Structure 1
Amino acid sequence: MRGSMQDNAALAADAFLAWWQLAGVDHAVAEAPVDWLRPALSPASAPHRTETAPVPKPRDLPAFHQWLESDSDHPERRWPARALYPAGAVDAPLMVVTDMPDPADVDAGALLADRAGALFDAMLRAIGLDRSHIYIASLFFARPPGGMVEAADLTAAAARMRTHVHLARPRRLLLLGDRTIRALMPTDGAASPNSLRDFNHDGGTVPAVATFHPRLLLGQPAAKAECWRALQSLIEEARP
């Protein structure tokens, strides 16, 4: 009787181990983590990677716009979201850069729309400009799920924006929002707040000022005074 029970236990153990091996678990521990919920690809079905030559950077602003709209390697291609591309002409007196489209922007089909857009238009009027005079862009031309981006994507978008600013050739640059500022113009605290600073791009530098995004000002009206001090540095320089 005891021998029969031992045989049955051994068969059960063999069956248990075989079940886990079929599921893909053939080691008790491993050096690298494994996503057990993702089916393993057979060699025949695994995607074939080929080495491709690096895509040359666009040489002018129209080519850059076309590259944004057509290249498949941009991080935004992974997100099921509507694309909102930059708008404006080269050599604008002011280029405005925000982080990404807000949900209201996606619905409206334009950056800085709805209530935040109305406040932004008021900010422009305060420095003697309107949207017809400026160039508007965003770090990301589409909104990721939950509005969250990976660090590697943020680094790639910042590098892309430095090329963008170089080709757009604005006279001044206005950065809106904390994420935009941290990606494009991190500071060690030595620079004077609300003042023009040099922004380094692919072709040199351009004077830039950073301030709050209008969406934050809607919820924190007390920050408008600090925003106004930042905009004052653009009043004389940004006029067409």
Structure 2
Amino acid sequence: MIAGGGEVKTGGRDMDTSFPLTLAQQIAAAQDWWREAGVDHDFADATEVWLREPEEEAPAAPARPTIAMPAPEPEAKRPAIGGDPASWPQTLEAFGEWWLAEPSLDIGGARPRIAPRGAAEASLMVLVPEPEPDDAETLLSGARGRLLASFLRAAGVAPEQVYFASTLARHTPAADWASLLADGLGAVALHHVALVRPRRVITFGRDILPLIGHDPTQNPASLRKINHQGSTFPLLAERSLDFLLARPNARAGFWQRWLDWTDGSD
């Protein structure tokens, strides 16, 4: 049965639906409505942790103190090999004594210091990097020296016409030639040549060439003379005696270069 406005007829009783609801009743009614709709939890896109305690921020590590390092001391400059050039000997005889006694000429080693041998104004000066391992008193007295002696006999050059010298005073395995050059060994070698005043010079071994003014980036064959203090000495730059000793073909090439250099005469 439908009654007039604001009334519902039920079982002969009238239900008045116009009474106001309190706030609590409105909230309860809304919850009942959602519950009957099957929704009994609140959902959100972002997760929320309810039980975890908030983490305390770790204290910042204390800054390490900066230790000021002292500036490195400049490396002491090594004395030049031979010392002051103004004090170098001016005669070949004095040079031979100085060669065995001057401390800066000795870079150390187990082998003895060996003196050069020969006379001034020799027809030929032979310059090798260092004495042989077996040299005890005489320069080039081992296998390399015997090879050289055989060559000189074949070339018709008497031993007394030859001045034998080395750029180091003693046999020195694995010598640091770049450092020796920087320390002034080349100037000593050139002074030695100037005192001998040879007619010609043969060098054996490429380690010698920078000491006498050759640019190592160029072909050794391009170095044909030594210029020093206004004097010029014809030069034949050869491979080491070890190289020639081990290779017969290399010895044949050396012989031909010698003939071309001397035009068939000594």
TM bucket (normalised to shorter chain) is 0.5 to 0.7
Kept after mapping to 2: 8 A contact 1:95/1:173:
yes
Q: Partners in 2 of 1:133 and 1:196 — Cα distance?
A: 24
Match in the other structure for 1:162: 190
Kept after mapping to 1: 8 A contact 2:214/2:223:
no
Q: Secondary structure at the match of 1:73?
A: helix
Q: How does 1:187-202 map to 2 (within 5 A)?
A: 187=215, 189=218, 193=221, 197-202=224-229
Amino acid corresponding to residue 93 of structure 1 in structure 2: S
Amino acid corresponding to residue 134 of structure 1 in structure 2: V
Q: Secondary structure at the match of 1:207?
A: strand
Number of aligned residue pairs = 189
Is 2:97 aligned against 1:69?
A: no
Selected match of 1:78 from 91, 95, 108: 108
TM-score normalised by length of structure 2: 0.61
Q: Which has the higher helix share?
A: 1
How has the CA–CA distance of structure 1 residues 68 and 236 changed in structure 2, closer, same or farther, with 3 Å as cutoff?
same
Q: How does 1:23-62 map to 2 (within 5 A)?
A: 32=72, 54=84, 56-62=87-93
Q: Secondary structure at the match of 1:129?
A: coil
Is 2:152 aligned against 1:124?
A: yes
Q: Secondary structure at the match of 1:147?
A: coil
How has the CA–CA distance of structure 1 residues 238 and 73 changed in structure 2, closer, same or farther, with 3 Å as cutoff?
farther
Q: Partners in 1 of 2:104 and 2:223 — Cα distance?
A: 34
Match in the other structure for 2:131: 101
Structure 1 range deviating more: 177-186 or 135-144: 177-186
Of structures 1 and 2, the one scoring higher in RCO (CA 8 A, sep 6+) is: 1
Q: Partners in 2 of 1:238 and 1:152 — Cα distance?
A: 39
Q: Partners in 2 of 1:29 and 1:64 — Cα distance?
A: 48
% identical aligned pairs = 28
Match in the other structure for 1:172: 200
Deviations 1:7-35 (A, max 9, x none): xxxxxxxxxxxxxxxxxxxx6866549xx
- Gaps (5+ residues) in structure 1? 1-26, 34-52
Q: Partners in 2 of 1:237 and 1:165 — Cα distance?
A: 24
Q: CA deviation at 1:100?
A: 0.4
Selected match of 1:209 from 230, 236, 245: 236
Q: Partners in 2 of 1:198 and 1:120 — Cα distance?
A: 21
Q: Partners in 2 of 1:122 and 1:138 — Cα distance?
A: 19
Q: CA deviation at 1:121?
A: 1.1
Is 2:180 aligned against 1:153?
A: yes
Q: Secondary structure at the match of 1:84?
A: coil
Match in the other structure for 2:138: 110
Q: Partners in 2 of 1:86 and 1:224 — Cα distance?
A: 25
Q: CA deviation at 1:103?
A: 0.8
Q: Secondary structure at the match of 1:58?
A: coil
